């Protein structure tokens, strides 16, 4: 298992972990979810997906949720492992902090709820 706490995730890894955050998915469903999450901006190739899934499995970020035979082929369904959930939460916090600072510096900082003081 690798320690990712000191470095940002690459976008494909961030998208893969995000795609698995709410429910287990098989490969094709992950591809579709990544496309949806990215607003169609990112389309992963099948080879890229399965290489990344294998790496994330080896790192303990994801795990196999279920294996079944469909049309004579093995189909794996993947889910986030606890380490992957922690990695994704940490990355979401980092991205949120960076985006908030960018908005502040651009003068786009949105006011909080009515009655809140900064």
Report the CATH number of the 11-103 domain.
1.10.10.10
Question: Could you tell me the two tokens for 5?
Answer: 């706490």
Residues near 87 by beta carbon (within 8 Å), at least 6 away in sequence: 4, 9, 17, 61
The 10s digit of each residue's pLDDT in 59-95 is 999 999 999 998 999 899 999 999 999 999 999 999 9
What's the rounded Cα separation, in Å, for the pair 39 and 26?
20
Global pTM reads 0.83
What's the rounded Cα separation, in Å, for the pair 13 and 20?
11
Domain spans of the chain, in order of start: 11-103
Instruction: Tell me if 18 sits within 8 A of 57, measured CB to CB.
Output: no
The 10s digit of each residue's pLDDT in 34-52 is 999 999 999 999 999 999 9
């Amino acid at each position: 298992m690798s320690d990712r706490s000191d470095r940002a995730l690459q976008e494909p890894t961030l998208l893969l972990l995000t795609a698995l955050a709410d429910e287990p998915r098989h490969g094709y469903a992950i591809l579709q979810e990544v496309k949806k999450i990215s607003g169609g901006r990112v389309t992963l190739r099948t080879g890229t997906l399965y290489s990344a899934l294998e790496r994330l499995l080896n790192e303990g970020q994801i795990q196999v949720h279920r294996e079944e035979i469909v049309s004579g082929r093995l189909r794996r369904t993947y889910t986030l492992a606890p380490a992957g959930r922690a990695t994704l939460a940490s990355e979401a916090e980092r991205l949120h902090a960076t985006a908030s600072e960018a908005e502040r510096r651009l003068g786009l900082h949105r006011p909080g709820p009515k009655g809140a003081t900064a």
